[in-house]
Amino acid sequence: IDAPTMSDPTVISNLRMLSSLGLPFDLCVRASQIPDVARLVASCPEVTFVLDHCATPRGQDCKLQWWCDAFSD
């Protein structure tokens, strides 16, 4: 799911329907998408989201501080 899709009003409306059905929404995203995902989740507070694999950053030389900071927002 890309940033434009995450902010699409139709997508947000459809995601909100999941709550009334008792269904969660799994997010399989890259670590770089965390800010966009945070905005999506904030726009659908009634929906249960599952962040698959914790949006794990890739690469052996990855510095994790930016990843931790992204989750603190």
Model confidence over 15-54: pLDDT tens digits?
999 999 999 999 888 778 888 999 999 999 999 999 876 6
**Confidence check: pLDDT of 70 > 60:** yes
* Cβ count within 10 A of residue 43: 15
**Confidence check: pLDDT of 67 > 90:** no
Please report the DSSP string for 41-73 in residue order: HHH-TTS-EEEGGGG---STT--SHHHHHHHH-
pLDDT of residue 30: 78
- H and E: helices and strands count for the chain: 4, 2
**Confidence check: pLDDT of 60 > 80:** no
φ, ψ of residue 27 to 5 degrees: the values are -110, 120
pLDDT of residue 28: 84
pLDDT of residue 2: 84
26 SS3 class: strand
